Amino acid sequence: MNLTILGCYAATPRSLTNPTSQVLEIRNRMFLIDCGEGTQVQLRKNKIRFSKINHVFISHLHGDHFYGLIGLVSTYALLNRQADLHIHAPKGAKEIILLQLRLSNSWTGYNLYFHEIEGDLPQVVFEDEKVIVTTIPLQHRIYTNGFLFREKEGSRKLNIEAVQKYNIDTCYYQKIKNGSDITLDDGRVIPNSELTFDPLPPKSYAFCSDTMYKEDIVPLIKDVDVLYHESTFLDSEEHYCERTMHCTAKQAAKIARLANAGHLILGHYSTRYDDIEKFREEASGVFKNVHLADDGKVFDFN
Amino acid sequence: MNLTILGCYAATPRSLTNPTSQVLEIRNRMFLIDCGEGTQVQLRKNKIRFSKINHVFISHLHGDHFYGLIGLVSTYALLNRQADLHIHAPKGAKEIILLQLRLSNSWTGYNLYFHEIEGDLPQVVFEDEKVIVTTIPLQHRIYTNGFLFREKEGSRKLNIEAVQKYNIDTCYYQKIKNGSDITLDDGRVIPNSELTFDPLPPKSYAFCSDTMYKEDIVPLIKDVDVLYHESTFLDSEEHYCERTMHCTAKQAAKIARLANAGHLILGHYSTRYDDIEKFREEASGVFKNVHLADDGKVFDFN
């Protein structure tokens, strides 16, 4: 699992900083999370093979998380994309995107599916045999969800030395990986535990932006491996949090501590700050493993 | 009068090239022409004082000319803009912008006026005491207009030496600049021609993108000082022009020649070409004063 930060600054795109967008690679799936203006250029600059993205998750419809989506959808059409594209976004996203496609008479040659999100309870928005994605209801000025990405338990790893020792035919390998014992021609039963290793523990990633301090989310992200949590302000601007419905670095760290997260990545910095290192300093007083998101940075979770 | 090219490439924004947008400074007015994705960042990178822009002219609602507008409108709101903003754009632009503002619950603190353009005849879309802007109906895959920006005849220039020689009081200066003769206390009448110089000849700029080859526009832009005309293709791809409704460099040059333009600026290059110098070469066979637009380039018309 790895995470590429395409943009992690609040409010407006600027010459050297970009609004929120991330690419999460998880079990060979490539997910785009949020899509501020300029995301398609950031995908190119970061050399992401963005034709591989089949699912886009949008937290909320504020511009710095969403205004790049129509451009990406259009560019896929111009590049003659054929694969389906799924957009998981708050209700309203479909109307915005389709209105623009209609008025520009620019339809997509690929199937574009909207999965609009409503409701205030956590819900599964994506699931296949390897990954499950659940919403994390957040508290912001408009309807907003974070997303929890969890790998499913993988199949067991073959112990090649052991299967070769017993001269087991390759046609049984998948059965063994699925957990079966094997009966040899001479009648001996070899227990699965002798033929396999435990699978790697499944990893999880929680994306929480934008939100005010909200302890309700702690049970939803309990023991998450990596938590990205917005930290728009430093302590000195904490008084802005209530009105703008954002968090400080310390508040983000408190959520990480309560949730027993493995690592905390901070982002969504207000553009009033020149030095983001101070976010790390303030959060580190509350939680140990603090990392700073920055545009172009890649986090490898393995 | 000067023109800053923020972007001049067709179709999709890329790492090093931007879709169409320009800033025209004319008689101390600053006009934004088209607004592809990333325009607000290009305004910053080119150090344009974009709070000075009060009028935006949109040729058509294809993404590479329009998708940056919602971001600019929102950024003005975040920057606490107070001045009115006028958007001159094809019908539909208002619905797109307002829908997005409504769904993000992000209203502007300034007055946002939409002047939607319809109809296939040239029409005045802006006029004040110094400048007049007229549409140039173009022929593209969706409803599209170019824009003709014309300075009005300025007032006459005061001949300071002459007015001082006759000891004329400063309170008469505006009257003289407006063209009046002056009667001195001794009864002598001094003709205006002795007290003033001719004003600078008014300049004009025509923006024509996107369009297929359309000779109808020639009378509308006759004798224009500077013509920006799209040239999406080179001769080798001329066969794409009919289907995509774009022009070659030679076709753009032919329009410039027929219109007796002073200068021709080419742009809206297809991103299939690595070397835009060939556009100049091909156009120069047809028309003399050919210039190449490029992102960040400034043209001074004086």
Name the residue type at position B44: R
Size of interface A-B (CB pairs under 8 A): 102
Give CA–CA dist A92/A60, Å, rounded. 10
Q: Residue B203 gets which letter from DSSP?
A: P
Closest-CA distance of chain A to residue B18, Å:
10
Which positions in chain B touch A61 (Cβ < 8 Å)? 100, 103-104
For testing contact with chain B, the best of A41, A91, A142 (most B CBs within 10 A): A41
- What are B's interface residues with A at a Cβ cutoff of 8 A? 11-15, 37-38, 40-41, 44-45, 60-63, 66-68, 70-71, 74-75, 78-79, 92, 95-96, 99-100, 103-106, 141-142
Question: Measured between beta carbons, which residues in chain B are less than 8 angstroms from residue A37?
Answer: 37-38, 40, 68, 71
Does the annotation flag A140 for ligand binding? yes
Contact B38 A142 (CB under 8 A): no
Q: Give A80-126 pLDDT, tens digit per residue.
A: 999 999 999 999 999 999 999 999 999 999 999 999 999 999 999 99
Q: Nearest Cβ partner of B105 from A78, A105, A142?
A: A142
Contacts of B75 in chain A (CB under 8 A): 11-12
Decide: helix, strand or coil at residue B80: coil
| Closest chain B residue by Cα to residue A65 | B104
Identity of the residue in B41, B61, B79 whose CB atom sits nearest the CB atom of A15: B41
End-to-end CA, chain A = 6
Chain A residue numbers with beta carbons less than 8 Å from the beta carbon of B13 are 38, 40-41, 71
Rg of chain A over all Cα atoms, to the nearest angstrom: 22
What tens digit of pLDDT does each residue of A263-290 get?
A: 999 999 999 999 999 999 999 999 999 9
The count of other CB atoms within 10 Å of the CB of residue A199 is 14
Q: Look at the block and give the residue holding tokens 């992200």.
A: A221
- DSSP label at residue B218: G
Residue of A nearest to B98 (CA): A96
Degrees to nearest 5, angle at CA B74 with A146 and A48: 50
Tokens of A280: 């790390």
Of residues B126, B131, B166, B165, the one with CA closest to residue B145: B126
Minimum distance, in Å, between the CA of residue A265 and any CA atom of chain B: 26
Question: What pLDDT is recorded for position A83?
Answer: 98
Per DSSP, helices labelled H in A196-297 are 241-244, 249-258, 277-284
Cβ of B103 within 8 Å of Cβ of A61? The answer is: yes
pLDDT tens, residue order, chain B (302 aa): 999 999 999 999 999 999 999 999 999 999 999 999 999 999 999 999 999 999 999 999 999 999 999 999 999 999 999 999 999 999 999 999 999 999 999 989 999 999 999 999 999 999 999 999 999 999 999 999 999 999 999 889 999 999 999 999 999 999 999 999 999 999 999 999 999 999 989 999 999 999 999 999 999 999 999 999 999 999 999 999 999 999 999 999 999 999 999 999 999 999 999 999 999 999 999 999 999 999 999 999 88
Contact B99 A99 (CB under 8 A): yes
Identify the structural domains of chain A with CATH numbers, from first to last. 2-154+200-300 (3.60.15.10), 157-197 (no CATH)
Backbone phi, psi, residue B222, to 5°: -55, 130
Q: What pLDDT is stored for residue B125 in this prediction?
A: 98
Catalytic annotation, residues of B: 64
Nearest to A68 by CA among A13, A29, A126, A141: A13
Predicted pLDDT of residue B155: 86
Residue A179 backbone phi and psi in degrees, to 5: 115, 0
CA dihedral A67, A72, A77, A83 (to 10 degrees): -120
Q: Do B40 and A12 touch (CB under 8 A)?
A: yes
Q: Note whether B100 contacts A103, CB cutoff 8 Å.
A: no
* Residues A142/A62, Cβ–Cβ less than 8 Å: yes
Residue of A nearest to B10 (CA): A78
Q: Residue A23: pLDDT above 90? A: yes
| A123-156 pLDDT tens trace | 999 999 999 999 999 999 999 999 999 999 988 9
Beta bridge partners of residue A55, listed in sequence order:
A31, A86
Q: What pLDDT score was predicted for residue B126?
A: 98
Above 90 in pLDDT, residue A302? no
For residue A41, give the nearest of B13, B70, B92 by CB distance: B13
What ipTM is given for this predicted complex? Answer: 0.92
Q: Nearest CA to CA, how far is A43 from chain B (Å)?
A: 9
Pick the residue from chain B with its C-alpha nearest to A12: B75
CA distance A142 to chain B (A): 7
Residues belonging to chain A with any Cβ–Cβ distance to chain B shorter than 8 Å: 11-15, 37-38, 40-41, 44-45, 60-63, 66-68, 70-71, 74-75, 78-79, 92, 95-96, 99-100, 103-106, 141-142
Question: Would the CB atoms of A96 and B95 count as touching at under 8 Å?
Answer: no
Q: Which tokens hold the place of B136?
A: 């140039």
Residue B268 is assigned to a ligand binding site: yes
Alpha carbon distances (Å) from A252 to A34, A147, A280, B51 = 19, 16, 11, 35
For helices B69-78 and B93-103, the axis angle rounded to 10 degrees is 50
> What is the pLDDT at residue B154?
87
Chain A residues near residue B45 by CB distance under 8 angstroms: 15
| DSSP per-residue codes, A212-228 | ---GGGGGGGTT-SEEE
* Contacting residues of A for B101, CB less than 8 Å apart: none
pLDDT of A168 over the 90 cut: yes
Tell me whether residue B140 is annotated as binding: yes
pLDDT-above-90 percentage for chain A: 98
For chain B, helix (H) and strand (E) counts, in that order, are 10, 18
**pLDDT value of residue A155:** 86
Nearest to A78 among B11, B78, B95 (CB): B11
Examine the pLDDT at A31 and tell me if it is beyond 90.
Answer: yes
- Contact list, B10 vs chain A (CB under 8 Å): none
Q: Is A268 annotated as a binding residue?
A: yes
